Amino acid sequence: MAMIRFENVTKRYRGTAKPALDQVSFEVLRGEFVFLVGASGSGKSSCLRLILREDVATSGNVLVLGRDLRTLANRKVPYFRRHVGAVFQDFRLLPNKTVFQNVAFTLQVIGSSRGFIKQAVPEALALVGLADKQKRLPHELSGGEQQRVAIARALVNRPQVLLADEPTGNLDPATSIDIMQLLARINAGGTTIVMATHEAGFVDQMKRRVIELRGGQMMRDERHGGYGDTSGLPRLQPEQVRGAAAAAALTAVLELQREVGIEPTVTDAEIAVAAAVDVADDPSTASLVSALAEVRPAPVSPDVPAPAVAEAPTDEAPAHAPAQRPAPAERLAPADRPAPAEQPAPSAPSVPPEWQVPAAQPAPAPRPTPRGRGRGAGTGGAAGAGCRASR
């Protein structure tokens, strides 16, 4: 399934003669890890901004998760972005908020319940190896740790797609390798990743798909591409497959947990938005609240099928503790949880169900009681991850 599709996309900025993107077409499939490479000014960030719907193409079509972003209503953009996480070169953390608060922030803005936030934030931080730094402020962290916080924040919604714009651009080589390994593990867990970079070393060593831009034009699209001569650059050690399988299992467990979570309410959203209005940079508070009111998921009957989970090969099961540097997933998945590998892996719907249920909900009661219903977002993220884990 195509997660992202560019059809003859051209992007012209006001007052510039040459387009930043010129008739660019490509497709990114579920579970892919794609490097977007090219010199500074070649159009990488423009490309990612279009996928995030921070900007709209001048001509051509951008389709993400089955949605045509040109026709996606502004008020639906915040909801759309729940499914597309993003990290940037400069981390973009809120300097006066703790690590926990930084990761919790977007959840508060979209109106997640306190109970859900208490569960999801520590999980996301554990996934990036920062379980013990929740109370730190960004300036008390190294650059690599700050980027991990940003990654946790991008992942806390379990998005289907993660965009990374030069995520290692401000980091030293050793720290960059850590971040690359983390991204590889996240990808192995089923998340589609598009990473813009001009760091040749990673591109060559990871042997992933490479799309190269030059002056806004697509120069190549190579399955297992490289960058060029990278002798002398630090080696990227291949991630252990076992860790990848564990991450896939964790993704499945998280999806299951989410199903029994607490439903966000508009009341929660309004409180959070009111508290957050000083830093919320996009879209207007009012449109955010109305969007939330509109997309609130409908209650789901108990016979809804279980979410997609990975069919993890038995020799990759996360049962045994690793000798060193355990993957967070392995530390996280308790032994007494039901093994997700037992279940079939249904194919995910091409359009997330929430987008198909835009009918307005009745206003919530003053003190809404939690219902046994999580957010229906992003099932299928773990599907097939175990199969893909070997590489």
Residues that bind ligand ADP (CB under 6 A): 13, 16, 20, 38, 40-46
CB of 317 to ligand ADP, least distance (A): 41
- Residues facing residue 64 across a β-bridge: 4, 67
CB of 83 to ligand ADP, least distance (A): 22
CB of 14 to Mg ion, least distance (A): 18
Mode of pairing for the β-strands spanning 33-37 and 192-197? parallel
- Residue 239 structure tokens: 């991630």
CB of 56 to ligand ADP, least distance (A): 13
- CB-wise, 136 or 198, nearer to ligand ADP? 198
CB of 198 to ligand ADP, least distance (A): 8
Name which of ligand ADP, Mg ion, none residue 41 binds, using a CB cut-off of 5 to 8 Å depending on partner kind: ligand ADP
- CB-wise, 55 or 316, nearer to ligand ADP? 55
SS3 139: helix
Q: Does 46 bind Mg ion (CB under 5 A)?
A: no
Count other Cβ atoms within 10 Å, centred on residue 46: 23
Contacts from 75-78 at CB under 8 Å and sequence distance 24+? 75/283, 75/287, 75/288, 75/290, 75/291, 75/294, 76/291, 76/294, 76/295, 76/355, 77/53, 77/282, 77/283, 77/291, 78/109, 78/110, 78/283, 78/288, 78/291, 78/292
CB of 53 to Mg ion, least distance (A): 17
- CB-wise, 41 or 226, nearer to ligand ADP? 41
- CB-wise, 20 or 87, nearer to ligand ADP? 20
d(CA 212, CA 197): 10
CB of 222 to Mg ion, least distance (A): 21
User: Exposure of 283 by Cβ count < 10 A (0-12 exposed, 13-18 middle, 19+ buried)?
Assistant: middle
Instruction: Please name the residues in contact with 132: beta carbons below 8 A apart, sequence gap of 6 or more.
Output: none
Ranges of H-type helices in the chain? 44-51, 77-81, 99-109, 114-127, 143-155, 173-188, 200-206, 241-259, 266-276, 285-295, 328-332, 385-388
- CB-wise, 34 or 126, nearer to ligand ADP? 34
- CB-wise, 31 or 38, nearer to ligand ADP? 38
d(CA 216, CA 234): 29
- CB-wise, 38 or 264, nearer to ligand ADP? 38
Name which of Mg ion, ligand ADP, none residue 42 binds, using a CB cut-off of 5 to 8 Å depending on partner kind: ligand ADP
The footprint of Mg ion on this chain (CB under 5 A) covers a number of residues equal to 2
Give residues 269-298 in contact with Mg ion (rule: CB under 5 A).
none
Name which of Mg ion, ligand ADP, none residue 16 binds, using a CB cut-off of 5 to 8 Å depending on partner kind: ligand ADP
Segment interacting with Mg ion (CB under 5 A) among 44-52, 235-243, 295-303, 371-379:
44-52
- CB-wise, 43 or 381, nearer to ligand ADP? 43
Q: Does 89 bind Mg ion (CB under 5 A)?
A: no
Please report, for the chain, how many H helices and E strands are present, in that order: 12, 10
Please report where in the chains the tokens 């947990």 appear, as a residue.
Answer: 257
Q: Does 45 bind Mg ion (CB under 5 A)?
A: yes
Q: Which residues make up the interface to Mg ion (CB under 5 A)?
A: 44-45
